[in-house]
Amino acid sequence: MLNVVRFWILLSTLLVGGGWILSALHQLNRAGYAVILALAVLPFFFWWRKAQPLSREHRQRLRHKFQSRFKRRAPQLFLLIAALSFLSGCLYPALNYDANAYRLPRVMHWLWAGQWHWIHTFDSRMNISACGMEWLSAPLILFSHTDRLLFLINWVSYLMLPGLIFSVFTRLQVRPRVAWWWTWLLSSGWCFALQAGSVANDSFAAIYILAAVDLALRAREKKSATDLWLSLLAAALATGAKQTNIPLAALWLIAAWPALSLFWKNPLRTAGVAVFGLLVSIVPISILNYHHCGTWMPLDIAGITVVGKFQLNPFWGVIGNAFCIPVQNLLPPFYNLLPPFYSYWPALWNEMMRYFLQTSFGAHFASFENFGFLSDVYYHGISEGNAGLGLGICIMIFAALREIRRLQKTSATTETVVEPVPFLRLLRLAPWGLLLIFMAKVGTFENARQLAPYYALLFPAWLVKTAHASVVRQHRWRRLALLIMAFTTLLLATLSERPLFPAQTIFKLVQSKFPNSEFLLEECSRYLESNYQVTVGRRNYLKQALPSGETVIGYYAKICFVDEPSIWLPYGQRRVECLLPDDPPERLRSLGIHYVVVNGAAVNQTYGNIGKWMDKYNASLVGQYIFTKQSRQISEPPDLYLVRLN
């Protein structure tokens, strides 16, 4: 497993660093990537020529090791989760909301221009956000002309998660039996399992920070400069994946501190690794943000001012997140099945939060983005876009605490106390300090999913306690753990965005048999009017309506609208130009734009109606897509207009 992790770190460094290098050379194209991959393959080829082939006994030993490792129920359930995630990724296109709103479009803009550039767009997240996932996605889109393979980035990362968690836990003095059980439990956490088959960019960075800590500790034990260099690259990749991961760099520094002297044994190689570390970290996008906006993270520039107000008071940020993060992790998987209000309770909850924010005490949390709210996009329940570790892991934590209390009363714990090592104790406690930094600074909506890289590192400080060795021996606790993992497989199979059963057929039949049942109507609408169905409907409309011969299409929308990737289809054959409210008609015609896709909500907000927009740009209406919802709990997407410039 460790060699696979090392290879993944090197491959990620190659693709992320290569993306920036090719952009600087204006060669972000197939030829550029071919040269980089050829230069990377040559050393591997010579190593492979010199390497000794595996003997028959070695192959049999590896096969036996794999079979013995996965003969128990918990690893088998993990394999089932991984298999369902892979099937889900193969069957369904990229549906993640943020990916469609800005991450996929920004990649397409860069590939068309042959370089990273500051995009003319209302949604400034296309420009200011970290680029880790995008640089991994770029070559896949470039060579395949599709986004259907992008889920493999998350899926491959997910396969490495259990081994890294177990290795880090045991090196932090968690007993192997305890580490073994919690390895499989945490790997079935909803933020990891649901994102494994998607294109979300929250959980995949967990691999980097776990590898950074693990390799730094290995370097300390084995005096290996190579492992220390790889740990540096892994930590840099974690920060380059998302700005909210920046505090985790301090955790790597603590883990690597005892081995830092290894850097000076070969200063030239260390300098080269450091340069690549800077290249794949958050540094390049921070420099570019400063160049264009005067600050490393410009949250208050035009197009994203709604986020710019999230300047939290650190004290109230910690207090507010101490409420919001547990609430998001305790949400039930299916809202419609929760009595007594069923599908009405999320709306009631949000109304209560609105009232709370108007009170004198609630005013302290006004800087949060929708403090305490539940997403109106995912009213049906948990999804990849709003899941933290999840209710199942929370239940297992409560069950472990209950068992510890019971065992303490009966004096059933007999394990010897592990001799504390100050350095390892600091490393176990440090993630909790970094969590406080995150809570003091991040007030975005549904930030429980953004904590995905932090979660596993928070557990060793608790699991190192002696009592847990007795807890994991309790048969009822083990049965509950397996039940929680089994439920995760059920959740994966029944997601309304990506169901793995014939949902359309079943729920249309149910709807026809019981047309007057309000509960069944709401339940059926989860699948018949899901985010997937809406996206597919709009994508099919654009595919049919857009003229095939047009190589440039205009797109008028505002932040958080997700139709731009559909306009780029087929990838590599059409360019999309984003339009702003103050763009003059002359700019559109100078770009060679003849057709414009207009988002109904955006045009109504700025101009009042589509007619005024067409009058300004001397355009005529060609087509319109209207979505009519059946359920009150489904967020109705805006209309789409296709107009032609006269």
**Number of separate domains in the chain:** 2
- Give the domain-ending residue among 266, 283, 300: 283
pLDDT tier, 255 (very low <50, low <70, confident <90, very high otherwise) = very high
Tokens 């789409």 found at: 640
Q: What is the residue type of 143? A: F
pLDDT tier, 629 (very low <50, low <70, confident <90, very high otherwise) = low
CB contact set of 4 (below 8 Å; sequence gap of 6+): 160
The pLDDT tens digits for 458-481 are 999 999 999 999 999 999 999 999
pLDDT tier, 412 (very low <50, low <70, confident <90, very high otherwise) = low
Q: What 3-state class would DSSP assign to 149?
A: coil
Query: Cβ(210)–Cβ(158) under 8 Å?
Result: no
The pLDDT tens digits for 263-297 are 998 999 999 999 999 999 999 999 999 999 888 88
Report the predicted TM-score, pTM, of the whole model to 2 decimal places: 0.92
Q: Which domain holds residue 552?
A: 531-645
Query: Cβ(195)–Cβ(384) under 8 Å?
Result: yes
- Give the domain-ending residue among 251, 283, 315: 283
**Can you say how many angstroms the Cα of residue 308 is from the centroid of all Cα atoms in its chain?**
22
Compute the chain's Rg from CA coordinates.
26
- Give the domain-ending residue among 283, 313, 335: 283
Mean pLDDT of 190-203: 94
The whole-angstrom separation of Cα 209 and Cα 215 is 10
Helices (H) and strands (E) in the chain, counts: 32, 5
Please report the pLDDT score of residue 46 as a whole number. 64
Query: Cβ(633)–Cβ(380) under 8 Å?
Result: yes
Question: Which tokens go with 293?
Answer: 């906006």
pLDDT tier, 409 (very low <50, low <70, confident <90, very high otherwise) = confident
Whether residue 589 lies inside any domain: the answer is yes
CB contact set of 557 (below 8 Å; sequence gap of 6+): 122, 123, 563, 564, 578, 598, 599, 602
Please report the pLDDT score of residue 307 as a whole number. 47
Please report the pLDDT score of residue 337 as a whole number. 58
Mean pLDDT of 256-267: 92
Query: Cβ(569)–Cβ(620) under 8 Å?
Result: no
Cis amide leading into 176 (omega within 30): no
The pLDDT tens digits for 477-532 are 999 999 999 999 999 998 878 888 887 788 778 777 777 766 666 667 677 666 67
Tokens 């840099």 found at: 236
**Can you say how many angstroms the Cα of residue 393 is from the centroid of all Cα atoms in its chain?**
19
Bridge partner list, 576 = 553
Cis amide leading into 570 (omega within 30): yes
Q: What percent of the chain has pLDDT over 70?
A: 87
- In b/e form, how buried is each residue of 71-97, taking b as 16+ CB within 10 angstroms? eeebbebbebbbebbbebbeebbbbbb
Whether residue 254 lies inside any domain: the answer is yes
Tokens 């993992």 found at: 485
Torsion (CA) 24, 30, 32, 33 in degrees, nearest 10: 100
Helices (H), 54-188: 56-69, 73-91, 97-98, 104-113, 125-128, 132-144, 151-171, 176-187
The whole-angstrom separation of Cα 226 and Cα 235 is 14
Torsion (CA) 367, 370, 373, 378 in degrees, nearest 10: -150
More confident residue, 253 or 93: 253
Whether residue 140 lies inside any domain: the answer is yes
Average pLDDT, the chain: 87
Whether residue 489 lies inside any domain: the answer is no
The pLDDT tens digits for 372-402 are 888 754 456 788 888 999 999 999 999 999 9
Please report the pLDDT score of residue 333 as a whole number. 85
Question: Which strand (E) or helix (H) includes residue 231?
Answer: helix 225-241
More confident residue, 60 or 630: 60
Please report the pLDDT score of residue 122 as a whole number. 86
Q: Which CATH number do you get for residue 538?
A: 3.40.190.10
Tokens 């394990």 found at: 415
Residue 635 scores a pLDDT above 80: no
Whether residue 305 lies inside any domain: the answer is no
Whether residue 44 lies inside any domain: the answer is yes
Please report the pLDDT score of residue 306 as a whole number. 47
Whether residue 139 lies inside any domain: the answer is yes
The whole-angstrom separation of Cα 205 and Cα 131 is 12
Whether residue 430 lies inside any domain: the answer is no
The whole-angstrom separation of Cα 165 and Cα 288 is 35
